[in-house]
Structure 1
């Protein structure tokens, strides 16, 4: 049981793991005295521990054009980041398909390619990475001319992308030379056009469906002073010429999106005047949405039919809007910190949100307002088994829905979510050198599978190395030989 494994971890002086397992044990309906004693014993053991998982800020989310997949990014832009990964999600199951690693600084934004086969991510060290989503590998990286690349988006043909950002974001020494808004050619890796005019960092960009126009949003949320640039600007992508400019007297813009027909724009204002604005790009008129947020609007997105929109705010709220009336349809409450990412599926049925410091990603049913899924450390089902490596710095955990998690017990953070099993995990093992892990599951009789799988993982890369088939019942025990060259398994067969 979980209580037993909590006591075992405590005997091995893995206090943090013992507390985590004890909390899982008492969370089960009608926990017994053994579970309560396990948590109590772990809690009163002397030493330093983190009861809640420690993770970095979740900074951005986006949804693929078919509405089936999501991307999220993380990192601490104002300190030493623990997790600078990008995660590729299956929104129907809430499971991570790939964890994309390669950034060494906070990842500010993510974007899907139009065909959904590739992704872009940009970070606080000027690096932009192109990813292959089929296998989670890096295809190419680009180095921007500014330190903080805050926003990125593909062009509709998938052959280029636009990035925006700036330098000295929390420093009063900010100049127009410190901002950048550029168009890249993916094949050559070169900048093909610069859009000159912004005086402050560019926080949001959007490209029209026909690929002819670009929107950019500028703000100074950290109060660096100097020249004011609280503007949304529309550009001709082919010539780089500025076509329209919309300004705010009180605060800057942190997010922007085109309406599907390209004739309008939605933009989210900062904390001084936290409203969603609608701009008519044909005649230049504007309309304020009803004020519902009480803090900066960090994200806006719109459905394919242009009828509904979603916003995420610094007030921890995500709000669904009627674009026609500018009135809120539904408010979603649950995040414990600013919602920096809020993305709506093309059909308007699913919302994907990221709460910054609460380290959660949530999937919502926008029709009935229900929260479908919440992910923190990457597992969404009860833990069934776990083991520690010899140094007790890593734990390998299996869940009742086939999830496998490699966890850093020193820093209390997720290292990898290992996807491969479909059924409950019954056994786990780590090789003596800590380089490999093995997981055993029950056979999936509903799917007509007669054999139970054993998967061997490379714990340094998170990749599946071997799939061992032969047992006809659940695999309840796994053990590596002392030299790590053999794996032994036991089953009810």
Structure 2
């Protein structure tokens, strides 16, 4: 069970679309349609600094495993790599608008993947100014991308409703999973890389065997789009954020909802656990950042 720890009602001046927990820096990172990225002290909730650079809304933020480096993507087609200790931009990449809707860092922190227009997923190296590889997902917008923690797989959720899984080493498509009826907005792997979770505008969360591609379970309970799925570090629990203004907690063993958090007043765009799983944050179109702690 989780309870409200604190709230930041006007964390940004417009809707907040992305949040990531950077445990190594003891920060929570938020990205907003107001074009800004804010870094918050994870213990006090105080604003530490803002990261300038994007000139259109920020669609995605992610951090490395150590929680010391962040990567952001925006509607302006820019990608930034940030040193969270100093707030300085380490690198900047410019792509065409809509090419970098979602971004995910590789487990080793030396590469990342982006998804966007045309269903093209681009793989990048921090040592290169251009993509090192491109893989074609379904012929549709690539809404979300995620690496498996073991570094073997890359998943992509598409506007067409498919979830495509690629082998990182070969770049080959392993599975094209068609269990959703419409847009897939979020994908995430379990900590042991054996399970793949996807959330869709069909209000459902699907659970797949990451290696073989078969459907294991489906979670239903939201009354609107599922916009984000976050996996608890122990893998026994997930959190989902939805257009129905709620965050739901689910038991992956019992395959049922265990708790509903109804503190936002608009779409909840993203949700994230800290690395111990005893804290949770969520962000919303209502411009608020909500902080929760486990009881």
TM-score normalized with structure 2 length: 0.84
Q: Equivalences for 1:280-295 in 2 at 5 Å?
A: 280-295=167-182
Q: In 1, are the aligned partners of 2:7 and 2:291 still within 8 Å (CA)?
A: no
Structure 1 residue 417, shift from structure 2 partner: 8.7
Pick the aligned partner of 2:187 from 300, 306, 331. 300
Aligned-partner SS, 1:206: strand
> 1:332 matched to which residue of 2?
219
- The structure that has the greater radius of gyration is 1
1:368 to 250, 254, 258: 254
For residue 202 of structure 1, give the secondary structure of its aligned residue in structure 2. coil
Q: Tell me the secondary structure at the aligned position of residue 65 of structure 2.
A: coil
Higher share of residues assigned helix = 1
Task: Say whether 1:355 aligns with 2:251.
Answer: no
- Deviations along 1:287-327, one digit per CA (max 9) or x if unpaired, are 22431101111011111210012111011111111101212
Distance 2:291 2:133 in 1: 48
Q: Which residue of 1 aligns with 2:134?
A: 245
2:98 to 192, 197, 200: 200
Q: Distance in 2 between matches of 1:416 and 1:276?
A: 29
Per-residue CA deviations over 1:404-461 (Å, capped at 9, x if unaligned) read: xxxxxxxxx9x999999x9xxxxxxxxxxxxxxxxxxxxxxxxxxxxxxxxxxxxxxx
Match of 1:138 among 24, 28, 47: 47
CA distance in 2, matches of 1:103, 1:352: 23
Whole-angstrom CA distance in 2 between matches of 1:263 and 1:320? 18
- For normalisation by structure 1, the TM-score amounts to 0.52
Secondary structure (helix, strand or coil) at the match of 1:337 reads coil
Gaps of at least 5 residues in structure 1 are: 1-92, 167-177, 220-228, 379-412, 423-493
Question: How many residues are treated as equivalent by the alignment?
Answer: 272
1:256 aligns with 2:145: yes
RMSD over aligned Cα, in angstroms? 2.6
Corresponding residue number in structure 1 for 2:270: none
Distance of aligned partners of 1:419 and 1:339 in 2 relative to their CA distance in 1, 3 Å threshold: closer
Deviation at 1:196, TM superposition (A): 3.8
Aligned residue runs from structure 1 range 80-479, under 5 A: 93-100=1-8, 101-115=10-24, 117-166=26-75, 178-219=76-117, 229-248=118-137, 250-270=139-159, 273-356=160-243, 358-377=244-263
What is the rounded CA distance, in whole Å, between the counterparts of 1:162 and 1:292 in structure 2?
A: 30
Looking at both structures, which has the greater relative contact order when contacts are Cα pairs under 8 Å and sequence separation is at least 6? 2
